[in-house]
Chain A
Amino acid sequence: MPPQLPLPEPGEPDTSGPLRYLWWLVRCQPWRVLRGSLIGSAWMLGLSVRPYLVARAIDDGLRPGDHRALLWWVAAIVVAGVALAYLGIMRHRTMTFVREDASVRSAAVLLRHLSRVGAVLPRRLAAGEVATVGGVDITHTSAVLTVTGPGVGAVLAYGFVAVVLWSVSPLLALFVLLGVPAVVLVVAPLLRRLERAESVYRQQQGLLTTRAGDIVAGLRVLAGVGGRGLFADRYAARSRTLLAEGYRVGAVNSWIEALTIAVPGLFLAAVVWLAARMAAAGDITIGQLVAVYGYVAVLVVPVWFLLEGGHQLIRGRVAARRIIGVLDVAPDHAAPPAGTGAPVAPPRRPADLHDPATGLTVPAGRLLAVAADDPAAAGALADRLGRFVASDVTWGGVPLAGVPLDDVRSRILVADHDSYLFAGTLREMLSTRAGTGDAEIAAALRTASAEDVVDALPDGLDTPIGARARTLSGGQRQRVRLARALLAEPEVLLLLEPTSAVDAHTEGRIARRLRAARAGRTTVVLTTSPLLLDRADTVAYLADGRVVATGTHVELLARDRGYRALVSRDDVPAGVDGARG
């Protein structure tokens, strides 16, 4: 039966090893796999029917010149062919379903994991790695499941042919039974060598893929400054290195391919030799001699399937290991330091946040602006307050690190100035909370002074926009991000340089509206823009990692020279900056 895709729930994978992962993919669909095995086996066994029918046609029809018998056997050959065709397509359909279920399961599990890992992910994994895993490794992994169908059938077909041969001649049967392990023994070490070569090759292929992706990601930079030729050349040089490696892999592969033909072929020759001598001695008939030849030729199919299965298993193991590599990236949720015991309850009502490292207190329900002389310090402060790192921050007196992460994330939002915009319609981009209505969206867009963004789009809120919203201008993207953060309606909102890419006029408007929109709720704006600072209830001036002055913008301007220098930037040389000055 076709699987119901997408799966309602992909399940929990076994990541304790690549083979266990593969086995998990099997366990998730036992009946379909069983069905695949049965049909696969029936099909594989059906392959040996034709040589039998051909042998009977020769012995009963051709040799005695019995045209009636010949006609019957020939008709049987055609009918058996149709039946085999039916079995063949059912096998293919079932195995496609099996593989597809596995692919989709891997994709769903990966996506779920990638969605849950969170902020640490980019530090642990190269972006190209995920692209390769998603693009190639999922396919390779599910290809392994092919073994469960024709693979099982191959073993059965082998046994069946041996039994039939036994009825012809026990000696021949014995020869086949002993010959099979010999064939496998010859090829197995070669497959191991292939695995090593393949793994190195795939690794390098992955690196090259990452580089191609890297170049694609930097195309805009190259367009501005040039250097495309250099990058093409450098990529070409690496491609050549991979080519040399490909040659080496090819040298091994081609031997294996030749052996998959030669070893069964030699085996066949030996069987024919034995059978022909028996026929010459009159122990078996000519028809049986031809049948034996046919049987062993039929055996080439299961042998091939087993070898191919081995090949897929090797490739799939490498791929499954890489999938596990992604699934093993653990979320690093800045857990409480060891020994602090059970999680503590978060404050029930909005409460002050206090950061001992800087001495900053975020008053609940107020609009606080933080002007930091060092933006790295501002970023680190936001990371601490938003608990993206472990710290001694307290929230209403309780250690933030001890509060369940889900409570933190649902109540405190750190809105980075470069937060990611995912592909989707503008409406999808903005509504991160369930049940966000158009009126709310309109209000948030107004606060972020981003109504023009919607107006400029052909289908308004329903216009699809690509990942990173590259078709929007920098200023538009920033205002969309701000609107999205506002729509999330967090109890505590930390905005990092929310208006650095918009013009002064718009910025002034945003500053005014932001204050009104967040009235009564805790809001922290980390900025050095005078327009935003001027609108805050309180401004904290952060110098050398400590809060050195607190007050209103106007007070601090009058009182603190460092602050004045920071926000008014009087010492900037003439006309060189593109942004401020």
Chain B
Amino acid sequence: MTGLPVADRTAVRRAARDLIARDRRAVAGMLVLHGAAAVAGLAPPWLLGRIVDEVTAGAGAATVDRLALAIACCVLAQGLLVRYARYAGHRLGERAIARLRERFVSRALDLPVSVVERAGTGDLATRSSVDVTTVGTTVRDVLPVIVIAATQLLLLFGAIFLLHPLLGLVALAGLPSIAAVTRWYLRRARPAYLAEGAATAELTEALTTTAEGARTVEALRLDGDRVAYGRRRIRRVWEARRATLALRSVFFPVVEASYPLPIAAVLLTGGFLLADGTVTLGAVVAAALYLQQAVDPMDQLLQQVEQAQRGLASFARVVGVGQPAPDRAGPAAPAVPEPRGGKAQRLVVRGARYSYGDGPDVLHGIDLEVRPGERLAVVGPSGAGKSTLARLLAGIDAPREGVVSVDGRPVTDLDPAQRRRRIALVTQEHHVFIGSLRDNLAFAAPGATDEQMRAALAAVGADWYEGLPQGLDTPVGDGGRELAAADAQQLALARVVLADPHTLILDEATAALDPTTARRTERSLAAVVTGRTVIAIAHRLNTAHDADRVTVLEDGRITELGSHDELVRAGGAYAALWRSWHGGTGR
């Protein structure tokens, strides 16, 4: 299983810029509020320094009261400013997160199907739950703290510098060691946290797949296997977590041991300056207190740098979803006008070769011309490449070599939306989306009326819907009303009726249906396919018998092409297959 890609630095930076760009004014407003809050927070130590000096000078209770009141006022002001600054940050953050998750879903929707299949849905699911949430926490909680802490630190060190430049200079004593260890840490943190995220995703997948396959677990008594599998995932997670902990075990103590250095330096330097009489005791006390006060924002900043790293790692995983080339975009060149009157179009395959990933070719130079309006059956043993051919015809995958074109244009050059209106692929795979029955139909034809939807359902023989309590509004899918496999497939076929494509590719579309429903559906489909080109991938031969032409696909090559009767007469592989199929029924 190849995981989905993770965005690199440049892509992450660009994506972050994009997210903030639209809220530039809100960002500025938030920064101003945080700055004001930090200034209000600086006042108490300075006021305490004033108190020290006044009391040393023999001031009375009235002066002390006045200064103490000033401290209280500053605290109140700071509280209010913090509230509004944080709220602004929250709103900003929520907006960015919403934008991010929406983009995530729309990117996931644009992913080529093959990429999703290879990556596994657990990876995508974790990215959408854990990673989007982590990024959310980072944006909502971490970024504001970083902004606040940075502002506070700037102001604190500035204030010490104002008290006496030399004090300001020695106050920086702790920075070299902190800077060095932070660099050391950050360089190693990113890959370590990415590995941790990947390991966590696999553990989550172990849980979700166990839940999905619960019946199989019971039937085959796989509970022991699943627990053992989970234990292996847990071991991986634990290894990854210990690796990141080892990094923190160096980073944190060096930073913490660096904090008292500037305090010691300021006190020592203050002692000499005091002897010279260049500073007051109050100034040295205030400088020491400022440094004491700097510990908290510094701590938060560094703590959050680590959190921010984690957020960044998640962000890279979220943004990474958009990384593989999305489903081919529509043509930049002028679009070909839609043929009038819904006329069927000529689908041509020339020299098409295809391989999954770097694997061997599964199709070896297919040449095929589908005549408008014909019924073409594609038969052949499992694994011959029938489904792959169907995907190429539908434009879902592009051939590695050669071309699949409709009316002379490569199908993959068509705008995906336009392409699907012309060519629809129906597989036996069906998925009922969470939502109403209407939602499950409407996406195939957004403009369809309720009447058309009911007609479409009736056309495919889905009479069960009449029994639903809320009709088209009945909630279906995960958490809603459960549809039987046959009903779900009928729903899928009703979508095709609504989408009204010129060409219909049926990839074993009714294979999952029971005989009765399949027959009912097939009968209804007879009306649906009228006037359309139909390419039916079949593993049963009766389909081929009734088709206009039959093509036999073996080992990725077309070995026979012609009408049923011609092929039977030819006495080749098809004729053999036909006899094998018929041997049982004795027809």
Contact = CB atoms under 8 A, between A and B. Distances in A.
B303 to A, nearest CB: 10
B210 A501 contact: no
A126 B479 contact: yes
Interface in B428-487: 428-431, 433-435, 439, 442-444, 446, 477-479, 482, 484-486
A466 B108 CA distance: 19
Contact of B285 (A134, A290, A531): A290
Nearest to A243: B98
* Most chain B C-beta atoms within 10 Å of own C-beta, residue among A86, A230, A471, A578: A578
B525 interface: yes
A576 B536 contact: yes
Interface in A83-114: 84-86, 88-89, 92-93, 96, 100, 104, 107-108, 110-112, 114
A135 B223 CA distance: 21
B61 A281 contact: yes
Contacts of A118: 214-215, 217-218
A409 interface: yes
Interface in B99-121: 101-102, 104-106, 108-111, 113, 116-118, 120-121
B44 A261 contact: no
B522 A225 contact: no
A188 interface: no
Contacts of A208: 101
B150 interface: no
Given A62-B281, A250-B91, A213 B121 contact: yes
The winner among B380, B434, B439 for most chain A CB atoms within 10 A is B434
Contact of B210 (A80, A115, A126, A243): A115
A432 B225 contact: yes
B216 A456 contact: no
A85 B256 contact: yes
A323 B577 CA distance: 54
Given A122-B215, A467-B121, A239 B102 contact: yes
A130 B203 CA distance: 12
Interface in B66-80: 67-69, 71-72, 75-76, 78-80
Contacts of B183: none
Interface string A213-252: 1111111111111111111101110011011001101110
A265 interface: yes
Interface string B51-93: 1100110011101110111011001101110111011011101
Most buried by A among B129, B230, B492: B129
Interface stretch (B156-164, B187-195, B269-277): B269-277
B184 interface: no
A546 interface: no
Contact of B252 (A92, A409, A465): A92
Contact of B55 (A286, A413, A470, A579): A286
Given A216-B124, A470-B117, A573-B523, A243 B83 contact: no
A538 interface: no
A6 interface: yes
A100 B75 contact: no
A268 B41 CA distance: 12
B151 to A, nearest CB: 14
B52 A386 contact: no
A51 B267 CA distance: 13
Contact of A262 (B44, B60, B82, B263): B82
B9 interface: no
B508 interface: yes
A579 B540 contact: yes
Interface in A557-581: 557, 566-569, 571-581
Interface size class of B (residues with CB under 8 A): 35 or more
Given A257-B83, A409-B218, A475-B382, A581 B540 contact: yes
Interface in A254-292: 254-255, 257-259, 261-262, 265-266, 268-270, 272-273, 276-277, 279-281, 286, 289-290
Interface in B237-255: 237-238, 241-242, 245, 248-249, 252-255
A373 B516 contact: yes
A376 interface: yes
Interface string B351-393: 0000010010000000000000001010111110001000000
Contact of B427 (A220, A376, A503): A220
Contacts of B120: 423, 466-467, 470
A501 B64 contact: no
Contacts of B379: 503
B241 A100 contact: yes
B514 interface: yes
Contacts of A416: 215-216, 219
Interface in A391-444: 409-410, 413-424, 428, 432
Given A127-B478, A580-B542, A456 B383 contact: yes
A550 interface: no
A54 interface: yes
Nearest to B79: A262
A258 to B, nearest CB: 4
A222 to B, nearest CB: 7
Interface string B268-304: 1011101100000100110011001100100000000
Nearest to A265: B75
Given A432-B220, A530-B584, A134 B249 contact: no
B519 A571 contact: yes
Contact of B98 (A246, A268, A279, A410): A246
Interface stretch (B17-25, B342-350, B399-407, B417-425): B417-425
A502 B383 CA distance: 9
B367 to A, nearest CB: 22
- Which among A80, A224, A266 has the greatest number of chain B C-beta atoms within 10 A? A224
A184 interface: no
B83 A254 contact: yes
A40 B324 CA distance: 47
A84 to B, nearest CB: 6
A222 B94 contact: no
Contact of A6 (B118, B217, B224, B238): B238
A227 B499 CA distance: 10
Contacts of A410: 221
A540 to B, nearest CB: 16
Contact of A505 (B220, B260, B580): B580
Interface stretch (A63-71, A360-368, A515-523): A63-71
Contacts of B275: 65, 67
Nearest to A69: B271
Contact of A423 (B59, B205, B224, B547): B205
Given A51-B292, A120-B214, A373-B516, 7 more contacts: A114-B217, A115-B227, A232-B105, A375-B486, A418-B485, A432-B222, A568-B587
Pairs A-B, 3 closest by C-beta atoms:
A227-B443, A420-B213, A262-B79
30 contacts: A54-B263, A77-B260, A96-B245, A108-B230, A112-B227, A114-B210, A118-B214, A131-B204, A134-B203, A136-B133, A205-B133, A217-B431, A226-B443, A229-B109, A230-B443, A232-B102, A250-B91, A257-B86, A258-B82, A269-B72, A279-B51, A422-B213, A422-B225, A428-B225, A473-B387, A474-B429, A479-B382, A572-B519, A575-B377, A577-B540
